[in-house]
Amino acid sequence: MSHKIISEQDFDQLWEQTSKTLQTMAGHLTDTEARFLTMAAAIPASRGVILEIGSFKGRSTIALAKAAEKAGSAHTGLWAVDPFTSPTETCPDLEVPSSYPEFCDNLKRAGVTDQVEVFQGFSYDLAPTWKEKIRFLWIDGDHTYKGAKTDFDLFSPFLEDGAIIAFHDTLHSHDGPCRVFANDILLSPNFGECGFSGSIAWARYHKQPVTDETLLAKKRSLYKKLCKLVAITCLGQEISGLPKLQYRVLRLLIPHGNIKHQDWIKAVA
């Protein structure tokens, strides 16, 4: 893979501009998380397109589009998939029948409309015709276990060697993304570098099984910590009182702050 890697100074500038654009927009993404998406899209780990599952009003879509533009002409492809009708039990309540008009307005205002290929429908309706190799698979749609697992099963076969996969809300009470990340990623020999940023869990896919003992030890350690969270939130358990407090303490044991530019370069080099 040959392309010019964006410098730390240019990345900081890109993030400053992107965060200003996002400030006025509704959505479910913290600054730490939007910064992570900006880094993953601006500094590619492989060839291929970006696929976003779950766009809502376009907050993450805009961060990805602005960053992909900086990644060089071979890395600009970006797909956004959402029925825009908030159709599952884990989605935010919509005050209007569809988030699509606001999604379009937001993309237009951010100047990224032409950069995004939009599929207005469910991820599983796109899957049968999907052919593109993916460099960054961003899963933020249906957070039930069935929903997150379906998205992983349908689209992970399209990950390019070295690609990044990321799930939103792995450190929140929905058990779907957290369980899939623990079982299908941390326990898989084909994922290596990994971590958390905000409530995003991310990992790098490798066609050949990973044998580096440092990476395997890190995966084992994260798995042990994550399993304790899954045990509290699994099977649709409502958490309150003592379990909620326990959850918060256990979550603190998982490092999930901002990723430094140099650490990302090291992870995807």
Ligand X SMILES: C[S@@+](CC[C@H](N)C(=O)[O-])C[C@H]1O[C@@H](n2cnc3c(N)ncnc32)[C@H](O)[C@@H]1O
| Contact footprint for ligand X (CB under 6 A) | 27-29, 53-57, 59-60, 81-88, 91-92, 99, 122-123, 140-142, 147
Antiparallel, parallel or unpaired: β 159-167 and 200-205? antiparallel
* Nearer Cβ to ligand X (44/83): 83
* Nearer Cβ to ligand X (27/77): 27
Strand order of the sheet with strand 78-81?
A: 116-119, 78-81, 49-53, 134-139, 159-167, 200-205, 191-197
**SS3 call for 84:** coil
* Nearer Cβ to ligand X (117/263): 117
Q: How far is the CB of 156 from ligand X (least distance, A)?
A: 15
Q: How far is the CB of 214 from ligand X (least distance, A)?
A: 32
Q: How far is the CB of 68 from ligand X (least distance, A)?
A: 15
* Nearer Cβ to ligand X (43/51): 51
* Nearer Cβ to ligand X (140/193): 140
Q: Which residues contact 72 (CB under 8 A, 6 or more apart)?
A: 3, 4, 44
First to last CA, the chain: 10
* Nearer Cβ to ligand X (143/219): 143
H-helix segments, the chain: 8-23, 31-42, 59-69, 100-110, 123-126, 145-155, 175-180, 213-233, 241-252, 261-268
Q: How far is the CB of 263 from ligand X (least distance, A)?
A: 23
Q: How far is the CB of 235 from ligand X (least distance, A)?
A: 20
Q: How far is the CB of 101 from ligand X (least distance, A)?
A: 13
Angle made by CA atoms 166, 252, 60, in degrees to the nearest 5: 30
CB atoms within 10 A of CB 62: 29
* Nearer Cβ to ligand X (103/205): 103
**How far apart are alpha carbons 93 and 90 in whole angstroms?**
9
Q: How far is the CB of 146 from ligand X (least distance, A)?
A: 10
Which token pair is 204? Answer: 């790098």
Residue with tokens 């790098």: 204
- The residues that bridge with 137 in the sheet, in sequence order, are 51, 165
